[in-house]
Amino acid sequence: MWIDVIAVLPEMFSSAFEYGVIGRARKKGLFTLQVHNLRDFTEDRHRQIDDAPYGGGPGMVLKPEPIFAAVRSLLRGWTKDREKVVLLTPQGKRLDQQLLVELSVLEHLILICGRYEGVDERVREQLVDEEVSIGDYVLSGGEIPAMVIVDGVVRLLEGVVGSRESLIEESFQKGLLDYPQYTRPYDFEGIKVPDILLKGDHQRVKEWREKKARERTAQLRPDLLEKWEGSRKR
Ligand code: ADE
């Protein structure tokens, strides 16, 4: 997979993907990430990327020309099932595991990071395939949301996370929260590991984990449990 990011503050990405699972995947060439400075696509002397909003009001708006120039230079002209342009904005579709899975099957993903008060509407209308928000809160720019997407998408790529099983087992992939996990020591400050996990009865461990995952989801995220039960009935 090839990911291009268009950012006002590309420096923010410099060390974000050098470490851990994602860093290793990048070194192994399992994906390519290129971060582009929006200012490099300006043509004026001042390298201006923003301007005051028509009609007045506070703040600045990202100008259309540099964003159009950047995206046009990066697009390969493939079909939408292989290549997508995504704008990070609080107005977008809320990111969830399902959306990450959909993005992870693309061959080419272009992420545009918004900043300031907004982005010229013509970018949204003419250039962008999907607007994505990472949650109902406002950050100072789309750079961190773009990092969230890169991390979430890359770990779904073949060969990045050790076993496919650990991905499939994962809470949000299945629609339930995780079951409780324990490791050594058996007794930590008087709190012991549940005995069922020590007996080597895989079937009973599986049942216990399912029960715990359901209990925890019911308690903390009843909305998820409802969705999960609905999907099991179909
Ligand atoms: N830019 C600012 N806030 C954002 C959010 N919550 N999601 C995506 N992009 C953003």
pLDDT of 234 above 80 = no
141 CA to middle of ligand 1, Å? 6
> What is the arithmetic mean of pLDDT over 129-158?
97
145 CA to middle of ligand 1, Å? 6
Domain 2-154 has CATH 3.40.1280.10: yes
> What is the arithmetic mean of pLDDT over 130-150?
97
Instruction: Give the pLDDT score at 11.
Output: 98
Report residues whose beta carbon is within 6 angstroms of any ligand 1 atom: 88-90, 114, 133-135, 137-139, 141-142, 145
> What is the arithmetic mean of pLDDT over 74-78?
98
pTM, to two decimals: 0.94
CATH code 3.40.1280.10 region(s) in the chain: 2-154
Instruction: Give the pLDDT score at 48.
Output: 98
Tell which atom from ligand 1 comes closest to the C-alpha of 114: 1
Terminal-residue alpha carbon distance, the chain:
33
Superfamily of domain 171-233: tRNA(m1g37)methyltransferase, domain 2 (1.10.1270.20)
Tell which atom from ligand 1 comes closest to the C-alpha of 135: 6
Instruction: Give the pLDDT score at 173.
Output: 66
| Pairing status of strand 187-188 against strand 130-133 | unpaired
226 CA to middle of ligand 1, Å? 27
142 annotated as ligand-binding: no
> What is the arithmetic mean of pLDDT over 28-47?
98
Q: Note the pLDDT tens digit of each residue in 168-193.
A: 667 676 789 999 999 999 999 999 99
